[in-house]
Amino acid sequence: MSFTESTGSQRVADYRSPADSAESWLALADGMDTEVAQYFLVSARCGCFMQAARSLNVRPTILRKHLAQLEDQLQRTLFMFKDSSLTLSRDGHQLHVRLLALAHERTLPVIEQPLIRLAVAQTLLHDILGRDLVSLLRRNASLRLEIISLDSDLSLQAVSADVVLWLAGTESPMPRPNFSTTEPQPLARLDYQPYIAKRYSRVTARPEKLDDLADFLLVQWQHERQVDSFRPWNALVEQRLAGVVRLHSYELMLEMIRCSACIGLLPGYMSRYDRGLIALPGLFNQPMQRQVWLAVNDQSQDKAQVQRLVELILSTFEERWDWFQD
C-alpha cells in the first residue's frame, strides 16, 4: 500500500459517526475483563506504568502486555507520552469515563493482601536487611508489611510476629519469642570488636591494649548493657569516671564513632558495611560473640508472602556470607 493510500484509508477510518466513534467500541467496555479494566484504571491514575505495576503487584512487562492487547482489541491508542509524561489519549479519556461510570454499577474488587509482621533486631535491620527490604517494597507497592524493631530481650519476648530475626547466644537461641515457632535456624555468628574511624586514628597511634584507651572517648549503646557476652566491654565502660557517652540510638552511636573520634563496640562485619571504620583487635582476651537466629510463627509458615520474606532474608545472608567470616 502506498503512502497516499495509507493516508486515505486512515482518513476514512478517522471519519466516523458519533455512534461509531463512541458507542460502537466503548460498548466493549461493558464486558471487559475485570482484571484488564483494573490495569487500565490504575495506569491512568498513576500516570506511570512502573508505579501501576508496583501497585498491582505484577511485573511491568505483564501490565504492558495486557494493555497492548486491550488496544489491539479496541483498535484504539489509549495512552500517549507527552513531554516524557504518560497521559491518556482522546480515546483513552473516553474509555476512562466509561469505566468509571461502570464502576458505580459493579465495584472493581480490591485484592486484599495479608498483613505480614517482621520482627528484626535493630542492628540487623539497619546494617544488613534494610537495603533488601527497600528493594522488596520498590517492587511491590501493594504489600502489607509491618516491621518491628527489636532492641532488647524484653521487646523480643513481648512481640507477636510472623517472622522473627534476633540476636542471642552462640549455642542457644534463648531468650526466644514467647509464641510457638518453627525450630530457630542459626544464620551467622557475629564477633564484636571495638571500632574507631580511620581518619581519627593513625596506624602508629592506634590502641593496642586496654590502657591505651584512656585517652579516647568511649560510646556505648545502652541496649547492649545487659548482653552477657559483652561483659568485658561493659565492665570497661562502667568503671569510667569520664570520657563516656551512653546512647539509646544505634544510628547516633554509629555517627559518633564516624565523626567524633569515639570508640564503640560493633559487629565484625562493620568494616565491610562502612570502610571508613576499622576494628581494634586484641584489646580483650575474651571473645564477644552473638548468633543471628531466624524463626517463623507456626501459624504463618504456609503463607506465600511469609515464605517469600524468609527467602529474602536467607538470600541476604548468603550474599553477605563473607561479612561473617572474619
Instruction: Report how many domains make up the chain.
Output: 3
Rounded Cα distance, 7 and 16, in Å = 16
- Could you report the per-residue pLDDT of 267-294, keeping only the tens digit for each? 999 999 999 999 999 999 999 999 999 9
Do 183 and 96 belong together in one domain? no
Do 185 and 256 belong together in one domain? no
> Looking at residues 71-81, what average pLDDT do you find?
89
Q: What is the pLDDT of residue 326?
A: 64
- CA distances to 134, 282, 307, 318 from 128, rounded to whole Å, are 12, 25, 19, 11
Do 183 and 304 belong together in one domain? yes
Rounded Cα distance, 283 and 272, in Å = 21
Do 179 and 305 belong together in one domain? yes
Rounded Cα distance, 81 and 76, in Å = 15
Write down the number of H helices and E strands in the chain. Answer: 14, 11
Q: What is the pLDDT of residue 104?
A: 62
Highest mean pLDDT among 79-83, 184-188, 322-326: 184-188
Q: What is the pLDDT of residue 99?
A: 84
pLDDT at 10 over 50: no
Rounded Cα distance, 136 and 147, in Å = 13
Cα angle value 207/169/257 (rounded, 5°): 30
Rounded Cα distance, 74 and 178, in Å = 57
87 in any annotated domain: yes
Q: What is the pLDDT of residue 55?
A: 79
The C-alpha cell of 243 is what? 570520657
Helices (H), the chain: 3-14, 18-21, 23-26, 34-46, 49-56, 60-74, 90-105, 122-124, 130-139, 153-158, 231-238, 250-259, 270-273, 304-319
From 105, 123, 150, the end of a domain falls on: 105
pTM score, whole prediction = 0.71
Do 233 and 275 belong together in one domain? yes
Do 279 and 230 belong together in one domain? yes
* pLDDT mean across residues, the chain: 86
The whole domain housing 24 covers 3-105
Cα angle value 286/287/289 (rounded, 5°): 145
110 in any annotated domain: no
The C-alpha cell of 260 is what? 567524633
% pLDDT > 90, the chain: 56
